[in-house]
Amino acid sequence: MTGTTDDPTRTGGRARLLRPLYLPLYRLANSPRRLVVAILGIWVGLSMVYALLEGKGPIESLWWGIVTGSTVGYGDFYPESTAGRGVASLLIVTMLILVPIAIGHFIAFLVADRNEFSHEEQVALVRSVAESHEKAALALHLVREDLRARHGDAWLATHEQGWAAAEDARRDACEDAVELFSRSPVDPGAPGPS
């Protein structure tokens, strides 16, 4: 299949330059366990850096990290140094990016789509469509043979040129669907098409 793909890690051009930066974030966002560990690690780590920079205790610093990372900002503790403000900014930005992704995973876990097809069901459905496509191709062949018998080879050749041009202009969605759903789930670490 050519053109666009649903896997943003499999793009070409300038995106390949950003891949080393993007791929870890992509993997993190798609692994709830890693994501929670990263959030907790960043929260605790930056809270302890704040404690060192501002001369605060670990409990106060963890409280500050929760209040600041959640952007509540009670104002009971705040950084007084420029370095402390930098740590606070980094904490806020990373939490604004990572926490909503974690919340999305949690909500997706709670919401069940009873109408969702399994991978196996999707493959079976696509194969059924492919069989229908083959039957339609056979029916088209029989219709062409009937037209040849009724109108002759010259008439059929003239009209088939128009049909061929129209067929070339459209994409065969059935074959693309069979290819798409027959593959196993995408590994974001696998190299993309060249």
194 band by pLDDT with thresholds 50, 70 and 90:
very low
Q: Is residue 53 part of a domain?
A: yes
Q: Is residue 171 part of a domain?
A: yes
pLDDT for 192 equals: 46
Spatial separation of the C-alpha atoms in residues 39 and 33, rounded to whole Å: 10
**Tokens 């693309």, residue located:** 176
Mean pLDDT over 123-135 rounds to: 90
Q: Are residues 133 and 174 in the same domain?
A: yes
Number of domains in the chain: 2
Q: Is residue 177 part of a domain?
A: yes
Q: Select from 90, 110, 130 the last residue of a domain.
A: 110
Q: Are residues 79 and 98 in the same domain?
A: yes
pLDDT for 76 equals: 81
Q: Is residue 162 part of a domain?
A: yes
Q: Select from 56, 82, 110 the last residue of a domain.
A: 110
What is the secondary structure of 123-177 as a DSSP string? HHHHHHHHHHHHHHHHHHHHHHHHHHHHH-HHHHHHHHHHHHHHHHHS--HHHHH
Higher pLDDT, 78 or 190: 78
Q: Are residues 93 and 161 in the same domain?
A: no
71-119 pLDDT, tens per residue? 888 778 888 999 999 999 999 999 998 999 999 988 888 887 777 778 8
Nearest Cα residue to 78 out of 50, 59, 52, 40: 50
Mean pLDDT over 145-169 rounds to: 82
Q: Are residues 129 and 88 in the same domain?
A: no
Q: Are residues 57 and 95 in the same domain?
A: yes
Q: Are residues 100 and 148 in the same domain?
A: no
pLDDT for 176 equals: 72
Q: Select from 63, 92, 110 the last residue of a domain.
A: 110
pLDDT for 94 equals: 92
13-24 pLDDT, tens per residue? 666 777 777 788
Q: Are residues 91 and 127 in the same domain?
A: no
> Domain of 160?
119-182
